Amino acid sequence: MQGLTDEAVAWATAHGLQMMDAEHSTLCKAAPVTLLPTPLSRKAFEHAVHLAQPFNVLVDKVARDLDWVYKTLDGVLEHDEFTAQLVKICRAVEEKGDVQRIYLGINRSDYMLDQGKDLLQVELNTIASSFGCLSARVARMHRFLMDRYPEHETVQERCPDAQDATRTPPNRADTEIPRALAEAARIHLQSRGKEETTKGPPTVLFVVQEGERNSFDQRWLEYELWDAHKVACMRRSLSQIKEQASVNDANGRDLIVDGQLISVVYFRAGYTPNDYPSDVQWDARLLMETSNAIKCPSIAYQLVGTKKVQQELARPGQVERFMGEGPGAALRTGFAGLWSLDAKEQDESAKDAIKDAIANPGNYVVKPQREGGGNNIYGEDVKKALESMSSTELASYILMQRIFPEEVDAILVKAGEPHSAKALQELGVYGVYLSDGSKEHFNAYAGRLQPYETALTHNLEQQLKKFIVECSKTGMPLSAKDIKGMAYDLARLKDSNTKFKATSGWWKSFKARHPDLRIRRLEELDTVRHRALNYDIASEWFDLVQHKYAGGSRQVP
């Protein structure tokens, strides 16, 4: 197996299937991948692809009914400052007069195969839907390995029908997504009526996070935009945009950055509160939203991607309100059970689901508006949340049916080493859409992402949170330094095959300060840390650790 792994790593390195190193910003390494494709039902895959276009239409229709969006989100704003700020900007754009009614969507609908049968949507991502280019390269790497080494023992065992190309459909996300961006840029220039007077090529502004590790995924979009479409790209953080951007009111609210007209603003940042540490970043967002550049996504599209909107659309009659009976029924085939936790909105179905969740908390998940699974509530904590949170707090959450995906055998390649593991059946489907509300310029399926999450590391962040909270309850709270150290050590575990060492600096000092900490808890954390090898450092949980709990507070809430 190691020989095939070496070939995979060589292919990945030569073809840019890479990520930046967590500790050394100038170094890169092969991205973690599955050595060979993991199985997924053809029926489920084709069903997800079929739903891509109607989901695109749904997002656009909902985004253009702002009264419905505002009403839907009203109950969450008191306890969700981030969503409240997004709504504030959306209202400001509306009041100023939305000068750009053409919206570009690059959406990704994420699914799990529940108990190997029903394909159910986990969430619909409307902003910063990433990994399109890297996932396309993973598919091509898999195809290369199966074609080049069909007689290899591992290929024979894992992919007995490797020579049947229909078993591994092509993934063109790295051409379809940039094609959508390029077409939006072209239409923007046409809509201005000044294409012939514009200096230089049409330009897409990539709004990026500082210290972005997934820059290769973004760079491949940039290079394809230029090579295939002669569309230029500019990468800026929100802070840089505040300093370098302006809007020309005298010229139809053109967005100018460093003297260059921007045709499309493509957000690969701006989806988490951590992207807005001050008013500087919010001011930059407002400036872009009130310009005539085509936004991907618009602020309205981003609001449609919130969990509360997802839950409200699952309510009887709501998706049909936008799509009609036929398309609405088709979309519902992908819905998991979703219920409001706002007491003012609960029907009998929601009340019954809440009662059942208290009795059987393992069958449900409580989700907030925030991006990232690290904010979800699982297991016995579901019961505690439903019984202890105030009604206003609960209004900012939704209750969701927990999906139980089947485990499949997989070979994970990490730091050049193969690891056999049980992986969960997941699928992300990209869709691209451009419309002004009356004219649909394009609507297409744009590729897939088959992420892996090992069964061993599933819900790792919930285990870590539980440990932190229990330390606080026993009178031995973790300091901000402790938590930051934990995150840092887990990050290092992700980037190497080195097992956790109890002599880690923060851990050693923590044990010294709390010698009476129960051994069972020490062993529990040690086990959790051992499982962190494939954990995604880019998750919201790590952002939370690094930004929120690094400010000196001695005790975690």
User: Is the pLDDT reported for residue 195 higher than 80?
Assistant: no
For 258-289, how does the pLDDT look when each residue is reduced to its tens digit (9 = 90+)?
999 999 999 999 999 989 999 999 999 999 99
Binding residue positions for substrate: 108, 218
Percent of the chain with pLDDT over 70: 78
Binding residue positions for ATP: 123, 307, 367-376, 378, 400-403, 426
What is the distance of C-alpha 477 from the center of its chain? 31
Residues 6+ apart with CB under 8 A from 376: 365, 366, 367, 368, 462
Among residues 431, 364, 375, 376, the alpha carbon closest in space to that of 125 is found at 431
Binding residue positions for Mg(2+): 123, 125, 371
Rounded to the nearest integer, the mean pLDDT of the chain is 84
Domain definitions of the chain by residue range: 1-336+403-452, 460-547
Cis peptide, bond prior to residue 297, ω within 30 of zero: yes
How many helices (H) and strands (E) are present in the chain, helices listed first?
Answer: 22, 19
Report H helices in 64-114: 66-73, 81-96
* Spatial distance between the Cα atoms of 267 and 103, rounded to a whole number of angstroms: 13
The Cα-based distances of 269 to 129, 190, 237, 265, 332 in angstroms read 10, 27, 8, 11, 30
Binding residue positions: 108, 123, 125, 218, 307, 367-376, 378, 400-403, 426
Report H helices in 342-496: 348-359, 380-388, 391-394, 460-473, 480-494
User: Is the pLDDT reported for residue 510 higher than 60?
Assistant: no
Among residues 381, 506, 466, 428, the alpha carbon closest in space to that of 113 is found at 428
Strand partners, 204: 233, 264
pLDDT of residue 338: 95
Grouping H, G, I as helix, E, B as strand and the rest as coil, residue 368 is strand
The pTM for the full model equals: 0.82
How many Cβ atoms sit within 10 Å of the Cβ of residue 39? 13
Of the pLDDT bands very low, low, confident and very high (cuts 50, 70, 90), residue 407 is: confident
Of the pLDDT bands very low, low, confident and very high (cuts 50, 70, 90), residue 412 is: confident
Of the pLDDT bands very low, low, confident and very high (cuts 50, 70, 90), residue 52 is: very high
Of the pLDDT bands very low, low, confident and very high (cuts 50, 70, 90), residue 337 is: very high
Strongest mean pLDDT among 191-200, 234-243, 372-381, 406-415: 234-243
On the 0-12 / 13-18 / 19+ scale of CB atoms within 10 A, 172 is middle
8 A C-beta contact, residue 454 and residue 422: yes
The Cα-based distances of 451 to 2, 378, 412, 423 in angstroms read 22, 21, 11, 9
Tell the residue number behind the tokens 């945009």, with chain if given.
Answer: 241
Pairing of strands 260-261, 254-257: antiparallel
Tokens of 53: 């276009």
Q: List, as one string, the DSSP characters of 110-141.
A: EEEEETTTEEEEEEEE-S----HHHHHHHHHH
Q: List, as one string, the DSSP characters of 170-212.
A: ---HHHHHHHHHHHHHHHHHHHHT-GGG--SS-EEEEE--TT-
Q: Which residue has the higher pLDDT, 347 or 23?
A: 347
Phi, psi of 129 (to 5 degrees): -75, 95
* Spatial distance between the Cα atoms of 212 and 92, rounded to a whole number of angstroms: 30
For 431-474, how does the pLDDT look when each residue is reduced to its tens digit (9 = 90+)?
999 999 999 999 999 999 987 654 434 444 455 555 566 566 65
Pairing of strands 33-34, 103-114: unpaired
pLDDT of residue 28: 87
8 A C-beta contact, residue 330 and residue 121: no
* Spatial distance between the Cα atoms of 418 and 30, rounded to a whole number of angstroms: 13
The Cα-based distances of 490 to 25, 96, 275, 486 in angstroms read 18, 46, 22, 6
User: Is the pLDDT reported for residue 538 higher than 70?
Assistant: no
Helix (H) or strand (E) holding 146: helix 132-148
